[in-house]
Amino acid sequence: MIRLCGIRKRFGENLVLRGVDLDVPEGHVTALIGPSGSGKSTLLRTANLLELPEAGSIEIGDHRVVFEDGIKPQPSAILNIRRQTGMVFQNFQLFPHRSVVANVMEGLVTVWKWPTDKAKRHALELLEKVGMSDKGDAWPATLSGGQQQRVAIARAIAASPTLLLCDEPTSALDPELAAEVVEVLSSLAAEGTTMLMATHDLRLAARVADQVAFLEGGQIVEQGPPERMFSHPSDPRTIRFVRTLSASTEADGQTH
């Protein structure tokens, strides 16, 4: 079980997360949805401590860190949490000066100290898994957005993290390229990869997620299985948001 308890985070005077509690069961996918500024990406980034909360606790696997205002956790405790996670960013964040296979190998060699030959073999296996086995020697700039995101996913899962974090993994892509990424994430979900993702893509959440949490104003307003959250939400705020996002998704589909 991955557990976030009482997570509070502010930027200056802006309280972005207001004591959020969230459990992510192992082997399941949880999708965070909500309007821009609701706190979903910040919550995602606190899960691997790219953002340090002022209060609350984070538990991943056998590691737990407690936060108190004004007291920074030990670097070793932060590193233990980060080593349990892999991160897929909205804009891919590939190293432009490294080949595709070198991007996937990077963390294995520099962080985990794998021998180069072993890391390369594993990286090539992962590239095959995400449908990119023929692009190992390519440079990121020569790839489409969907291809870059698939490489980024391979890099994120290279060290077999306990939790895969995905921050708007399809939002920078047009619908056709987004479909490639949804396919890869669906395969990982079917294999039992534990995921927490922030997304505006209802199709991605509906296909991949086991539970959906709707955030507004730094709080989880409602959560449940996607079929209920998207068809029969109970909170008026969730109803308004899903209607707006559904209308946007339909218009997007007609445009393309």
At 181, list the tokens: 């990424």
Residues of each domain in the chain carrying CATH 3.40.50.300: 2-84+163-255
Residue 33's CB is within 10 A of a number of other CB atoms, namely: 27
At 160, list the tokens: 């077999």
pLDDT score of 71: 83
The CA-atom distances, in angstroms, between 182 and each of 4, 18, 119, 165, 199 are 26, 31, 26, 14, 12
pLDDT score of 244: 84
What is this structure's pTM?
Answer: 0.93
Residue by residue, DSSP assigns 70-119 as TBPPPHHHHHHHHTTEEEE-TT----TTS-HHHHHHHHHHHTS---HHHH
- Helix, strand or coil for residue 1? coil
Q: How far apart are CA 142 and CA 133, in angstroms?
A: 15
pLDDT score of 72: 85
Per-position pLDDT tens, the chain of length 256: 899 999 999 999 999 999 999 999 999 999 999 999 999 999 999 999 999 999 999 999 899 999 997 788 999 999 999 999 999 999 999 999 999 999 999 999 999 999 999 999 999 999 999 999 999 999 999 999 999 999 999 999 999 999 999 999 999 899 889 999 999 999 999 999 999 999 988 889 999 999 999 999 999 999 999 999 999 999 999 999 998 877 766 656 555 5
Tell me which CATH code domain 2-84+163-255 carries: 3.40.50.300
pLDDT score of 251: 56
3-state secondary structure 195-254: EEEECCCHHHHHHHCCEEEEEECCEEEEEECHHHHHHCCCCHHHHHHHHHHHHHHHHHHH
**In the sheet that 63-67 helps form, which strands lie side by side, from edge to edge?**
14-24, 2-11, 55-60, 63-67
